[in-house]
Structure 1
Amino acid sequence: MEHRDDTRPRTRPVPPAGPVREVSDRDWADDVRTAAGCAAGLFALLLLIDGAAGSLSWWRAGLWLVLALLLLLVLFPARVSAGPGWLATRRLLRTRRVRTDLLTAVRPEEGVTQRLILRDALGNRIEIDPEVLVRNPGLWYRLAEGARAAEAAGTLLSGTTALHRLARRLDTAAALGAFRESGLE
């Protein structure tokens, strides 16, 4: 007869042995630390300059703190994750997700920073940095897998050229990395 206070050894669930279902940006935590370091550095620099000038007060320190927090909000990176048939970006307050197997458009956007804009047949839209895909082959694999399915189904109407160009860029980066690691560069 068992009682409530009987102790049993707790067993950890064994993860499935199959392929990984969800992948995410491996460098996201480093990017968050960098953003926080920049914001903290700005805050410390402003306090130091204001203190050296002799004009530091509690309300000015609060103003500098708000300015540093605004910088943190601007620099805070989106967390990109992907699974079978979907790709998502999560920011501080919102998560956006597209179905990669229902993609209708892929459009690169040039500017100060490069962006890749993905739209699906359900009306969802996300923007990601192509560098995230270069640094994370698992994310690229999930996106390419879904894009191939969308292209085969005929829903991907525009952007196949941009995807093929990005695939060549990723292949070149992978080959250069392999050569660099093997000493053949």
Structure 2
Amino acid sequence: MGHRDDTRDDVIPPSGATFAEVACDRRWAGDLRSAILCSAAILSLILLIDWGADRLTVVRGSLWVGLGVLLFLVLFPPRVTAGEGWLASRGFLRGRRVRTDLLVSVRVLDGVSQRLRLRDVLGNRVEIDPQVLVNNPDLWRHLERDAYESAARGSLTCGETVLRRISQRIDRETALTVFKVSGLE
């Protein structure tokens, strides 16, 4: 969107922040590993079947490899990081950053998979899977604190109900986890 935060890498904290203050999606590496394994397994299976049927040629092999790469690109998980006043999502080709201390709206987009869209006063937008926040309490704490600060300032005009629902969902998941760990399930 032309804002200088859009050009920074999502892993590098803004000036004044340290890496200790940056929260990352703890399941990202596992999701990436799953995307690689799934793509490789499908590609291997297709190549094996084609080779077994004596139909594998250089052209067909290239097409299958292209299909495997395309599947990997579709399955590639965005890397979500957050710090004081910002949240970033970095996909395979590009990243987006939003100022969470200057939020204007927080909306839930329904579809094949639920998405959470955050928009700030500078016009920046980030879409993330709400499950990432449920799985990573540190990310949620950064977003929640800054979003309520935006609401207190009056810039957050749409989304307090969405934030409240996500907070309830996280509290429910945390309570269920505590019950499972303590054997009170």
| TM-score (norm. length: structure 2) | 0.88
Cα distance, 1:86 vs. partner?
Answer: 0.4
Partner of 2:97: 97
Greater relative contact order (CA < 8 Å, ≥ 6 in sequence): 2
Letter in 1 for 2:32: V
Partner of 1:58: 58
In the aligned structure 1, how far is the partner of 2:133 from the partner of 2:56? Answer: 45
Cα 1:19–1:96 change in 2 (3 A) is closer
Unaligned runs of 5+ in 1: 1-17
In the aligned structure 2, how far is the partner of 1:97 from the partner of 1:173? Answer: 27
Partner of 2:146: 146
Partner of 1:41: 41
Partner of 1:9: none
After the TM superposition, which residues 111-122 of structure 1 pair with which residues of structure 2 at under 5 Å, given as runs?
Answer: 111-122=111-122
Partner of 2:4: none
CA radius of gyration, larger in: 1
Letter in 1 for 2:85: G
Q: Can you list the C-alpha shifts for 1:28-83, whole angstroms capped at 9, x where unaligned?
A: 01000100111101111111111121101122111100100000001001000000
User: Helix, strand or coil for the counterpart of 1:68?
Assistant: helix
Cα distance, 1:99 vs. partner?
Answer: 0.6
In the aligned structure 2, how far is the partner of 1:136 from the partner of 1:20? Answer: 15
Partner of 1:28: 28
| TM-score (norm. length: structure 1) | 0.88
Report the RMSD for the aligned CA atoms in angstroms: 1.2
Aligned length: 168
Letter in 2 for 1:171: D
In the aligned structure 2, how far is the partner of 1:66 from the partner of 1:19? Answer: 37
Cα distance, 1:19 vs. partner?
Answer: 9.7
Unaligned runs of 5+ in 2: 1-17
Cα 1:52–1:19 change in 2 (3 A) is closer
Q: Can you list the C-alpha shifts for 1:92-118, whole angstroms capped at 9, x where unaligned?
A: 221110011100000001111010000
In the aligned structure 1, how far is the partner of 2:165 from the partner of 2:114? Answer: 14
Q: Which structure 1 residue ranges, 4+ long, deviate > 2 Å from structure 2? A: none
User: Helix, strand or coil for the counterpart of 1:104?
Assistant: strand
Letter in 1 for 2:49: I
User: Helix, strand or coil for the counterpart of 1:158?
Assistant: coil
Cα distance, 1:20 vs. partner?
Answer: 3.1
In the aligned structure 2, how far is the partner of 1:31 from the partner of 1:137? Answer: 18
Q: Can you list the C-alpha shifts for 1:124-165, whole angstroms capped at 9, x where unaligned?
A: 001000010011000000000110100110000001101100
In the aligned structure 2, how far is the partner of 1:19 from the partner of 1:67? Answer: 37
In the aligned structure 2, how far is the partner of 1:148 from the partner of 1:160? Answer: 8
